[in-house]
């Protein structure tokens, strides 16, 4: 059983990896298997962001609902709920699969904010979410083994179907991981900007923008962003937009205009990931 194998590996107290979460099951496995996961985790202390397990902070964060990310941003601190240690029941660990704190996703948000600042206007808020979602998806793509995919489930809700994984890897081999990231980024941008009547003719415009030849396989990749639930897109993301900017989702939809150019905040985020060596060809680890 894979989970039992992860449990038998145990913590990471003897690991040479820096900034590892020793009470988080499978953390070392993810650091070993994924370059992008490793790059993100190693980057955090350079940005002045710490990762802790502190019960009062964890409870305050979980109680914050829409303000949870701002709570972490103000403290430049990420929190996680440990699932490994002498006081963790083995049976509980076997039953409770799945993250209760999205550590990877929040790490990406805080990293972006360290460079671009906390977004205030609707476009910047949506772009930041799309940037984080897209990079989290690419990190998940690097979890090739069944064991690392299980460990990944403890830190992220992103799960990639084998057929989609194969198509994505083929695109990387034909172009680059940066090109795949840009395609996935536009997918999440289109979804989070609530372009629900998206057509293949619209997809061709994005392919032209990215200098890609459209295909049915590539369109299957592009649809990834639309797998997000309506509750998350409309209530969570646009609820946060309304709270920060006063622009409600109803007002936005009444005044929505379709522009397939990459927004400036998304370009800046893409440049951040490139400068921090997340993509192949610029690696330093």
Domain residues of the chain, as ranges? 27-42+102-275
User: For residue range 171-221, what is the model confidence (pLDDT) as tens digits?
Assistant: 999 999 999 999 999 999 999 999 988 888 889 999 999 999 999 999 999
Closest CA to 86 of 23, 14, 26, 15: 23
Task: State whether residue 50 is helix, strand or coil.
Answer: strand
Q: What is the pLDDT of residues 110-149, one digit of tens each?
A: 999 999 999 999 999 999 999 999 999 999 999 999 999 9
pLDDT for residue 284 is more than 50: no
Question: pLDDT at position 19, please?
Answer: 82
What value, to the nearest 5°, has the Cα angle with vertex 166 and ends 160 and 167? 95
Q: What's residue 100's pLDDT?
A: 64
Task: Look at residue 257 in the predicted model and tell me its pLDDT.
Answer: 81
> pTM higher than 0.95 for the full model?
no
DSSP state of 155: T
Lowest mean pLDDT among 14-28, 51-65, 87-101: 87-101
DSSP 208: H
């Amino acid at each position: 059983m894979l989970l039992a194998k992860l449990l038998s590996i145990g913590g990471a107290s003897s690991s040479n990896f820096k900034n590892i979460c020793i009470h988080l099951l499978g953390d070392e496995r993810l650091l070993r298997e994924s370059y992008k996961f490793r790059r993100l985790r190693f980057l955090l202390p350079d940005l002045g962001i710490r990762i802790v397990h502190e019960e009062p902070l964890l409870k305050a964060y979980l109680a914050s609902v829409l303000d949870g990310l701002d709570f972490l941003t103000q403290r430049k601190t990420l929190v996680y709920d440990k699932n490994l240690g002498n006081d963790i029941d083995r049976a509980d660990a076997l039953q409770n699969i799945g993250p209760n704190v999205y550590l990877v996703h929040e790490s990406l948000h805080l990293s972006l904010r360290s460079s671009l600042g906390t977004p205030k206007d609707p476009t910047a808020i949506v772009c930041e979410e799309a940037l984080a979602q897209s990079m989290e998806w690419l990190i998940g793509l690097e979890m090739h083994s069944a064991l690392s995919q299980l460990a990944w489930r403890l830190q992220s809700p992103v799960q990639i179907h084998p057929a989609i994984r194969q198509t994505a890897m083929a695109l990387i081999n034909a172009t680059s991981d940066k090109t795949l990231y840009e395609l996935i980024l536009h997918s999440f941008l289109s979804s989070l900007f609530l372009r629900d009547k998206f057509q293949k003719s619209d997809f061709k415009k994005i392919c032209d923008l990215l200098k890609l030849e459209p295909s049915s396989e590539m369109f299957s990749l592009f649809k990834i962003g639309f797998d997000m639930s309506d509750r998350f897109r409309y209530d969570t993301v646009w609820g946060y937009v309304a709270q920060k900017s006063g622009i409600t989702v109803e007002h936005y939809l009444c005044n929505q205009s379709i522009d397939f150019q990459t927004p400036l905040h998304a370009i800046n985020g893409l440049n951040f990931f490139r400068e921090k060596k997340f993509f192949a060809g610029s690696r330093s680890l």
